[in-house]
Amino acid sequence: MGSHRRLVPTSGFNRGAGTALCVLSAATAALGAVPAHAAPHTDTKAEVDRLYEEAEKATQAYDKADETAATLRREVGQAQDGIARQQQRINTMRDALGSLAGAQYRSGGIDPTVALLFSDDPADYLDKASTLDRISAHQAGRLRELRSALRELAQERAEAAGKLAELQKSRTAVAAHKKTVERKLAKARQLLNSLPFGQRAAYDRASRSGGGGIPDLSGVVPPDARVAAAIAAARSALGRPYVWGATGPSGFDCSGLMQWSYAHAGVHLPRTSQEQRFAGRQVPLSQAQPGDLVVYRSDASHVAMYVGNGQVIHAPYPGAPVRYDRVNMMPVSSVTRV
């Protein structure tokens, strides 16, 4: 983050896979506590800040691409099921028409028009209006039904092929954004590992603790039961680790925590902080109520939940567990009432 962060003591810190990023934004807050003789490393603070912000932007892009891929996977599955059902329908229709042909053969031979039922393109036969008077109305009706089914099947196959192509593009985007996040984090880790042990230790401590204390929210009353449920869910996640790309319950990124918390209130939020920004009515920060989503930075790359008394709950950054922070911990771009 930036030096404006006021870190709060939490428990249950987990040094799991997400801790590869543990110093990304912690560096900013920690440097504020480094003695004056460490001033030559102030450029480290700025660089780690920049890497953290870029990693968080890439995380939100990853979240969106991953969500799109999941949606497309469901749609492709549904399309394939539809194709299978349509093919079965066509097979049943062909079987029925085959029975008709067999009956004609047993009664003295197959009418040439019926033989055309089993061509690769029976629709071509129907398009020749001059021959329609050679088959019965019943036969013509079945042929038309088969032609319609074949056309529907061709359209469904084309749509499925398009969705498969979209899915491949989305998978490529997911992989690209993942590489971007990992590259930013690896660069930040390399930079911080080059610092003296004492300063690295300060970064690590700052990612887990601070002097803010647990805020007094005893007088805060949520505006309704739905918001109360969302806040209760967010508070139950306190201390769980930040894991980029995660939506809980064992770990979260910033927008994943908001989505998970409001799901407990029966409300579906979009996946990314940029989309959550428009998931309700925007209000001034001065009118913020418990349960409002507070979106940060001009690019809306971070989001938190306002809980009252100038405090928010959020998943800050890798290495820092879900916790309370002051609402003005960084520049606020908007406040959304869900």
Enumerate the active-site residues. Answer: 254, 302, 314
The Cα 221–Cα 289 span in angstroms is 9
Q: CA angle at residue 297 from 292 to 302, to 5 degrees?
A: 55
Token pair for 96: 């029925």
The Cα 5–Cα 211 span in angstroms is 11
- Looking at residue 239, the DSSP 8-state letter turns out to be T
User: How many other CB atoms are there within 10 angstroms of residue 205's CB atom?
Assistant: 15
First to last CA, the chain: 26
CB 62 within 8 Å of CB 243 = no
Token pair for 150: 């074949």
Helix (H/G/I), strand (E/B), else coil: 289:
coil
Token pair for 93: 């229709």
Is the Cα dihedral 304, 34, 51, 197 positive or negative?
negative
Helix (H) or strand (E) holding 308: strand 302-308
- Looking at residue 305, the DSSP 8-state letter turns out to be E
Token pair for 268: 């579906």
CB 299 within 8 Å of CB 258 = no
